[in-house]
Amino acid sequence: MTRTKYTAAQEAFIALANLKTGSVVRVMRSAKDNEMGWGTYWNNKDMDRAVGNTRTVESVDEKHLGIRMTDGFYYPFFVLQPVLPEPVEIKLDSGEYTAAVQVDGSVKVGCQSISTETLDKIHAASVKFRKA
Protein backbone atom coordinates (compact mmCIF):
# COMPACT_ATOMS: atom_id res chain seq x y z
CA MET A 1 0.00 0.00 0.00
CA THR A 2 1.35 3.44 -0.87
CA ARG A 3 1.43 6.32 1.57
CA THR A 4 -1.35 8.02 -0.41
CA LYS A 5 -3.56 4.94 -0.06
CA TYR A 6 -2.60 4.62 3.61
CA THR A 7 -3.67 8.22 4.23
CA ALA A 8 -7.02 7.63 2.47
CA ALA A 9 -7.62 4.42 4.45
CA GLN A 10 -6.73 6.16 7.73
CA GLU A 11 -9.09 9.06 6.95
CA ALA A 12 -11.88 6.57 6.25
CA PHE A 13 -11.16 4.77 9.55
CA ILE A 14 -11.22 8.07 11.48
CA ALA A 15 -14.56 9.02 9.90
CA LEU A 16 -16.19 5.60 10.40
CA ALA A 17 -14.97 5.29 13.99
CA ASN A 18 -15.82 8.96 14.66
CA LEU A 19 -12.36 9.41 16.21
CA LYS A 20 -11.45 12.82 17.55
CA THR A 21 -9.26 14.32 20.21
CA GLY A 22 -10.15 12.61 23.49
CA SER A 23 -11.44 9.38 21.92
CA VAL A 24 -10.26 6.19 23.61
CA VAL A 25 -8.84 3.31 21.57
CA ARG A 26 -7.31 -0.06 22.36
CA VAL A 27 -3.97 -0.94 20.73
CA MET A 28 -4.62 -4.47 19.43
CA ARG A 29 -1.17 -5.43 18.13
CA SER A 30 2.23 -4.08 17.19
CA ALA A 31 3.04 -2.99 13.63
CA LYS A 32 6.06 -3.39 11.42
CA ASP A 33 8.00 -0.27 10.46
CA ASN A 34 6.31 1.37 7.45
CA GLU A 35 3.70 -1.45 7.32
CA MET A 36 0.94 -0.85 4.75
CA GLY A 37 2.32 2.58 3.90
CA TRP A 38 2.35 3.81 7.50
CA GLY A 39 4.94 6.59 7.42
CA THR A 40 7.02 5.87 10.51
CA TYR A 41 8.43 3.11 12.72
CA TRP A 42 7.32 1.11 15.74
CA ASN A 43 9.32 2.00 18.84
CA ASN A 44 9.52 -1.56 20.16
CA LYS A 45 10.29 -1.00 23.84
CA ASP A 46 7.87 1.84 24.51
CA MET A 47 5.07 1.12 22.06
CA ASP A 48 4.94 -2.60 22.89
CA ARG A 49 3.68 -1.61 26.35
CA ALA A 50 0.58 -0.15 24.69
CA VAL A 51 -0.47 -3.45 23.08
CA GLY A 52 -3.64 -4.72 24.78
CA ASN A 53 -4.12 -1.42 26.58
CA THR A 54 -6.08 1.74 25.93
CA ARG A 55 -4.72 5.07 24.78
CA THR A 56 -6.35 8.48 24.34
CA VAL A 57 -6.26 10.24 20.97
CA GLU A 58 -4.41 13.55 20.99
CA SER A 59 -4.53 14.32 17.27
CA VAL A 60 -6.06 12.72 14.17
CA ASP A 61 -4.69 14.98 11.44
CA GLU A 62 -1.19 13.57 11.06
CA LYS A 63 -1.75 11.99 7.58
CA HIS A 64 0.64 9.09 6.93
CA LEU A 65 2.37 9.30 10.34
CA GLY A 66 -0.57 7.68 12.09
CA ILE A 67 -2.83 8.80 14.91
CA ARG A 68 -1.05 10.62 17.73
CA MET A 69 -1.87 9.52 21.27
CA THR A 70 -1.37 11.38 24.52
CA ASP A 71 1.65 9.12 25.20
CA GLY A 72 3.40 11.00 22.35
CA PHE A 73 3.53 8.11 19.87
CA TYR A 74 1.93 7.81 16.44
CA TYR A 75 0.03 4.54 15.97
CA PRO A 76 -1.17 3.24 12.60
CA PHE A 77 -4.94 3.10 12.36
CA PHE A 78 -4.94 -0.63 11.56
CA VAL A 79 -3.73 -1.60 15.05
CA LEU A 80 -6.41 0.45 16.84
CA GLN A 81 -9.89 -0.48 18.00
CA PRO A 82 -12.28 2.23 19.23
CA VAL A 83 -13.47 1.69 22.80
CA LEU A 84 -17.18 2.37 23.18
CA PRO A 85 -18.50 3.73 26.45
CA GLU A 86 -20.20 1.21 28.71
CA PRO A 87 -23.98 1.48 29.11
CA VAL A 88 -25.00 3.43 32.20
CA GLU A 89 -27.24 1.47 34.56
CA ILE A 90 -29.90 3.11 36.71
CA LYS A 91 -31.89 1.24 39.37
CA LEU A 92 -35.58 1.99 39.05
CA ASP A 93 -37.73 2.81 42.08
CA SER A 94 -39.61 -0.49 41.82
CA GLY A 95 -36.39 -2.36 42.53
CA GLU A 96 -37.46 -5.03 40.05
CA TYR A 97 -35.84 -3.57 36.95
CA THR A 98 -32.64 -1.89 35.93
CA ALA A 99 -32.65 0.66 33.12
CA ALA A 100 -29.52 0.84 30.99
CA VAL A 101 -28.73 3.82 28.81
CA GLN A 102 -27.09 2.31 25.73
CA VAL A 103 -24.25 3.73 23.64
CA ASP A 104 -26.73 4.87 20.95
CA GLY A 105 -28.74 6.79 23.57
CA SER A 106 -31.65 4.36 23.74
CA VAL A 107 -32.82 3.05 27.09
CA LYS A 108 -33.25 -0.64 27.80
CA VAL A 109 -35.51 -1.79 30.64
CA GLY A 110 -35.47 -5.54 31.15
CA CYS A 111 -35.62 -6.96 27.63
CA GLN A 112 -37.44 -3.94 26.19
CA SER A 113 -35.60 -1.17 24.36
CA ILE A 114 -36.98 2.36 24.27
CA SER A 115 -35.71 4.99 21.81
CA THR A 116 -34.81 8.44 23.08
CA GLU A 117 -37.74 9.87 21.10
CA THR A 118 -40.19 7.53 22.88
CA LEU A 119 -38.54 8.30 26.21
CA ASP A 120 -39.03 12.03 25.55
CA LYS A 121 -42.73 11.41 24.80
CA ILE A 122 -43.12 9.39 28.03
CA HIS A 123 -41.42 12.15 29.99
CA ALA A 124 -43.60 14.87 28.41
CA ALA A 125 -46.76 12.85 29.16
CA SER A 126 -45.59 12.30 32.74
CA VAL A 127 -44.97 16.01 33.28
CA LYS A 128 -48.37 16.84 31.74
CA PHE A 129 -50.05 14.23 33.97
CA ARG A 130 -48.44 15.65 37.12
CA LYS A 131 -49.66 19.17 36.26
CA ALA A 132 -53.26 17.97 35.77
Which residues, other chains included, contact 53 with Cβ-Cβ below 8 Å and sequence gap of 6+? Answer: 26, 27
| Domain positions in the chain | 3-82, 88-131
94 — pLDDT class (breaks 50, 70, 90): low
Chain segment 22-66, per-residue pLDDT in tens: 999 999 999 999 899 888 889 888 899 999 999 999 998 767 788
More confident residue, 45 or 103: 45
21 — pLDDT class (breaks 50, 70, 90): very high
Say how many C-beta atoms besides its own lie within 10 A of residue 5's C-beta: 12
Which residues, other chains included, contact 60 with Cβ-Cβ below 8 Å and sequence gap of 6+? Answer: 14, 19, 20, 21, 67, 68
- Give the separation between CA 108 and CA 102, rounded to whole angstroms: 7
Q: What is the pLDDT of residue 51?
A: 95
In single-letter form, the type of residue at position 21 comes to T
- Give the separation between CA 102 and CA 44, rounded to whole angstroms: 37
125 — pLDDT class (breaks 50, 70, 90): confident
Query: Does residue 71 carry a pLDDT above 60?
Result: yes
Q: Are 32 and 41 in contact (CB under 8 A)?
A: no
